[in-house]
Amino acid sequence: MRRVVVTGLGALTPIGNNVSEYLNGLQNGVSGAAEITHFDASKFKTQFACEVKGFNAKEMLDAKSARRLDPFAQYAVYVTREAMKDSGLDLEKIDLDRAGVIWGSGIGGFSTIEHELMAFSNGDGTPRFNPFLIPKLIADIAAGQLSIEYGFRGINYATVSACASSTHALCNSFDYIRWGRADIMIAGGSEAAVTNAGIGGFNAMKALSTRNDDPTTASRPFDKDREGFVLGEGAGSLILEELEHAKARGAKIYAEIVGCGMTADAHHMTAPHPEGLGAKNVMVQALNDAKMNPEDLDYVNVHGTSTPLGDIAETKAIRSVFGDSAYQLNISSTKSMTGHLLGAAGAIEAIAGILAVNHKFVPPTINHFTDDPDIDPKLNLTFNEAQDREVRSVLSNTFGFGGHNSSVIFRKFES
């Protein structure tokens, strides 16, 4: 099968509004958590989140896009413009019929549907809805909008698998290129769920941290006192390209994507399998797909949401898959800094892994204070400070409600 490489990156995160800023945040262990500004959260159990900062759609995008797109789709357009510019692709010199988009979002236009329904319920009962209500809220509109923007007439759809959504988008895009169905794919994900319903819904599930007195340390994966994740927002975009296509145009190559895995827990609507069975299986799939042995891997960017059950299950899975090689790995959860971007998590965490390969460092798991006796103390969870390391290969895990699991492996490019 054909080889697939990454030739462009774009990021909008709670710790940086472009790839350079995001890299700086990762290297310095910056927390993106702060008091919510999007709405008055004073009556909620959780009053903080990892919001994108300083993003003004009217300034960042054209007026039409700002008006007609929900924030999750605005984010998608913004980061893909960065990724496409970074890739150096010349639209006049590529076959647009063999260029496509697969974009992930766990929820889609959450703020749009919330706003429209609240306005209707507060009105006089006369149905007055925005004519763009439906296209603004549907999860596939980001993929469609990106294809329109660049004229990509190839494969185009959305992946919706909760927090695994954008890793599924990467895996599907990887497959289509290596199978010969496409030469170029825009792949990634975006989410904008820091809303009344987003915070309220996750609070009702008791899934969020309520550490309102100290938001910056609330996301603490693997810490004994973790008590829920911190909701985040943003987007990540990657340009995937067939190797010979990229070489022919002299493209900059960040990394090669070499393996993917996709499994289901088949266990519970929201809780992980207690022994991490689905997580184990998906990592094994990805390693087998990449034709790699466990000892060949250097770094695992874990799902690591800072929930009591999830963190234990994932570390059990890693120990099961890697055996004693697990102790040679660096492991970290960048959600300790960015919060949990739901359907966009896989995209920005894949970018974190690629940056680790290119800049020879491992991002930290910040906010570690107390060891958890239920987590193997010999695992190197890269606590509190980034570590210098030659990262030749990285595996990124994402797991979603419904038991969806996806893993992707990137490797340093060697011709």
Enumerate domains of the chain plus CATH numbers: 4-248 (3.40.47.10), 259-411 (3.40.47.10)
404 catalytic per annotation: no
Confidence of residue 122 (pLDDT cuts 50, 70, 90): very high
303 is catalytic: yes
pLDDT above 90 (res 248): yes
Task: Please give the pLDDT value at position 326.
Answer: 98
Cα 117 from Cα 299, distance rounded (Å): 44
Task: Give which of 228, 221, 231 is closest to 52, Cα–Cα.
Answer: 231
d(CA 13, CA 52): 6
Is it the case that residue 65 has pLDDT exceeding 90? Answer: no
Structure tokens at 110: 């959450």
| pLDDT band, residue 10 (cuts 50/70/90) | very high
Share of the chain above pLDDT 90, in %: 95
Query: DSSP code of 195?
Result: S
CB atoms under 10 Å from CB of 402, counted, come to: 14
Backbone angles phi, psi at 171, to 5 degrees: -65, -45
**Is 38 designated active site?**
no
**pLDDT class for 270, splitting at 50, 70, 90?**
confident
| 8 Å CB contact between 26 and 11 | no
Choice among 168, 340, 368, 404 that is catalytic? 340
- 408: which residues sit within 8 A by CB, 6+ positions away? 167, 170, 171, 174, 257, 259, 260, 261, 286, 346, 350, 395, 396
pTM above 0.85, yes or no: yes
Pick the closest to residue 258 from 156, 410, 109 (CA basis).
410
Give the pairing type, strands 156-159 and 99-104: parallel
Residue among 163, 171, 245, 368 flagged as catalytic? 163
Per-residue confidence at 63, pLDDT binned at 50, 70, 90? Answer: confident
Mind listing the pLDDT tens digit for each residue in 323-335? Answer: 999 999 999 999 9
| Helix and strand element counts for the chain (H, E) | 14, 14
Q: How many other CB atoms are found less than 10 A from the CB of residue 275?
A: 14
pLDDT band at 66; cut points 50, 70, 90: confident
In the set 245, 273, 303, 404, the catalytic residue is 303
Question: What distance lies between CA 280 and its chain's CA centroid?
Answer: 20
